[in-house]
């Protein structure tokens, strides 16, 4: 992934910090700002700077913010144009990508659009993963 070209192509100034954050996120999808901050610890980037960079990248359409029910923080991924949903284990928090329910954006259509043009539909399937289910069954 040519991170410099991606950042420049979105109209943002290319910085060492933005490159480090974007590369770390590409290696660890569905990461929080804290996790990215830990991943770029050697680059001497402060946590508030990581938050600001993720906000800039999300606004520019380079990354997507993923908000999950009952989550205390947002997660980020580098696939803003890949229309997909997520499945989350309610016990351990494991998160997996699920292909679009229909295959074409926005996947779901509301019964009323209230005069708005629909851009996306976000679905989070809440589940229990097999590992957590085994632990629960054996207890």
Residues in the chain: 139
Closest CA to 62 of 44, 82, 43, 45: 82
132 annotated as belonging to a binding site for a ligand? yes
- According to DSSP, the β-strands at 95-99 and 75-77 are unpaired
129 is in an annotated binding site: yes
State yes or no: 107 annotated in a binding site: no
User: Would you state the structure tokens that stand for residue 52, as one six-digit string?
Assistant: 């600001």
DSSP code of residue 31 = B
Longest CA span, the chain: 54
How far is Cα of residue 106 from the mean position of the Cα atoms in its chain? 17
Enumerate the H helices of 3-108 as residue ranges.
3-9, 16-27, 33-39, 47-59
> Is 100 annotated as ligand-binding?
no
Which residue positions form the known binding site? 89, 92, 129, 132
Summarize the annotated binding site for Zn(2+) as residue ranges: 89, 92, 129, 132
């Amino acid at each position: 992934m040519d991170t410099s070209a991606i950042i420049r192509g979105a109209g943002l100034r290319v910085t060492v910090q933005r490159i480090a954050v974007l590369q770390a996120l590409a290696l660890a999808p569905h990461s929080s700002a804290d996790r990215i901050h830990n991943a770029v610890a050697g680059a001497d980037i402060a946590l508030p700077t990581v938050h600001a960079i993720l906000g800039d990248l999300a606004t520019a359409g380079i990354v997507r913010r993923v908000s999950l029910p009952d989550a205390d923080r947002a997660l980020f991924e580098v696939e803003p144009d890949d229309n997909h949903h997520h499945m989350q284990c309610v016990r351990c928090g494991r998160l997996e990508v699920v292909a679009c329910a229909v295959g074409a954006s926005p996947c779901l259509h509301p019964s009323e659009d209230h005069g708005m043009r629909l851009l996306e539909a976000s679905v989070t399937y809440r589940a229990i993963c097999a590992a957590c289910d085994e632990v629960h069954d054996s207890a």
